[in-house]
Copies of this chain bind each other. A is one copy, B any other.
Amino acid sequence: MNARPLDRDAATHRGLGAVVIELSAAIVAVSDEAPKTLLVSPADLAPRQGLPYGPFDPAGHRTLEEGLRAWVQEQTALHLGYVEQLYTFGDRFRDPKERAGGPRPVSVGYLALVRQTALKDVGESTWGDWYRYFPWEDWRDGQPALLESLIVPQLMDWLEDAKTKPDRTRRQERINLAFGLGGSAWDNERVLDRYELLYEAGLILEASLDAGQEASPKRAAVQARAGAVLTKDHRRILATAMGRLRAKIKYRPVIFELMAPTFTLYQLQRAVEALSGARLHKQNFRRLVANEGLVVPTGHISDQTGGRPAELFSFRREVVHERPAPGVRVPVKVSKRTT
Enumerate chain A interface residues (CB-CB to B < 8 A): 1-4, 6-13, 16-22, 42-44, 53-59, 61-64, 67, 74-75, 77, 85, 87-92, 95, 97, 102-106, 108, 123-124, 176-177, 182-185, 187, 320-322, 324
- Report 7 cross-chain contacts, Cβ distance below 8 Å, ordered by A residue: A9-B103, A17-B59, A19-B19, A21-B21, A58-B104, A62-B92, A64-B89
Residue A4 contacts which of B54, B104, B105 (CB distance < 8 angstroms)?
A: B54
Q: Please tell me if the beta carbons of A7 and B44 are within 8 angstroms of each other in the complex.
A: yes
A92 to chain B: which residues have CB within 8 Å? Answer: 58, 62-63
Q: Please tell me if the beta carbons of B88 and A88 are within 8 angstroms of each other in the complex.
A: yes
A13 to chain B: which residues have CB within 8 Å? Answer: 18, 20, 102-103
A55 to chain B: which residues have CB within 8 Å? Answer: 8-9, 11-12, 16
A114 to B11, CA, bound (A): 29
Q: Please tell me if the beta carbons of A56 and B19 are within 8 angstroms of each other in the complex.
A: yes
A44 to chain B: which residues have CB within 8 Å? Answer: 6-9
Q: How far is the CB of A7 from chain B (nearest CB, A)?
A: 5
Query: Nearest CB to that of A323 among chain B residues?
Result: B185
Q: How far is the CB of A64 from chain B (nearest CB, A)?
A: 4
A183 to chain B: which residues have CB within 8 Å? Answer: 321-322
A58 to chain B: which residues have CB within 8 Å? Answer: 16-19, 90, 92, 103-104
A90 to chain B: which residues have CB within 8 Å? Answer: 21, 56, 58, 61, 63-64, 67
Q: How far is the CB of A337 from chain B (nearest CB, A)?
A: 14
